[in-house]
Structure 1
Amino acid sequence: MNIIEATIEKLDDPFGILTGDRYEIFLMLDVDQDDDLFSENGMMLKLIVVVEQSNYKIAQYDFIEKSTEKIVDFALDEEEKEPVLSYCKKLIAVEESEKSEMN
């Protein structure tokens, strides 16, 4: 499973109920044909990442077939979670850097 493209959006909490910042991240995946996760429709991983102070965690995620937008019942392996979270941390850092440059 390789990440080939990503999008990120900071989620607003207009009522201030939630602590920390939340980001919705879509990772477009390149999956080997012999992998159980492979789909001819393409595959993406949708994540909600929470950042509180300097702690990052994956609050929720779903594997989704790209062209049908159907949720696929798969889980990230423990050894996959850390590289995915690390990738998300970098995306968040770039997103925040770009926002601060605009202000």
Structure 2
Amino acid sequence: MLTITGYSVELIKDPFGILTGKRYEWMLDIEVAEDDELHSDNGLYVRVIYVVEENKEGMVRYEIFEKTNDKYVDFELEDDEQAVIEAFCKDNLAEATK
């Protein structure tokens, strides 16, 4: 299981009006147990694209990176880990819309 230790969030600007709804980019610092196959001594963060539209909202994409070198980590999170991230984004969305 992962733990979110810090984050930042920004509205993704759509100057051409191509996208529907609003998109937010979340950068979530995470910690995972040393015995987890995802663990990295370099630390990890997850880049999340979260969409808010009239009829739906949720995570549409995520990518995992090592903190120290921004190296992409080709790894898929388990369903429960994805649910933790999506719930975190949803619970903290009010801050992004200030």
Report TM bin, short chain: over 0.9
Query: How far 1:54 moved relative to its partner?
Result: 5.2
Q: Residues 69-88 of structure 1, C-alpha deviation per residue, up to 9 Å, x if partnerless?
A: 00001112112222211100
Could you state the TM-score of these two structures normalised by the residue count of structure 1?
Answer: 0.88
Higher relative contact order (CA 8 A, sep 6+): 2
Q: Which has the larger radius of gyration?
A: 1
Contact kept, 8 Å, 2:23 with 2:50, in 1: the verdict is yes
Q: Residues 4-32 of structure 1, C-alpha deviation per residue, up to 9 Å, x if partnerless?
A: 00100000101111001000001101111
Q: Which amino acid aligns with 1:71?
A: Y
Could you state the TM-score of these two structures normalised by the residue count of structure 2?
Answer: 0.92
Contact kept, 8 Å, 1:37 with 1:74, in 2: the verdict is yes
Deviates more, 1:12-21 or 1:78-87: 78-87
Q: Which ranges in structure 2 are unaligned for 5 or more consecutive residues? A: none
Contact kept, 8 Å, 1:28 with 1:44, in 2: the verdict is yes
RMSD between aligned residues: 1.1
Aligned residues: 97
Contact kept, 8 Å, 2:58 with 2:90, in 1: the verdict is no
Query: How far 1:53 moved relative to its partner?
Result: 1.8
Residue correspondence of structure 1 range 60-75 to structure 2 within 5 A: 60-75=61-76
Change in CA separation of 1:54 and 1:8 when aligned onto 2, cut-off 3 Å: farther
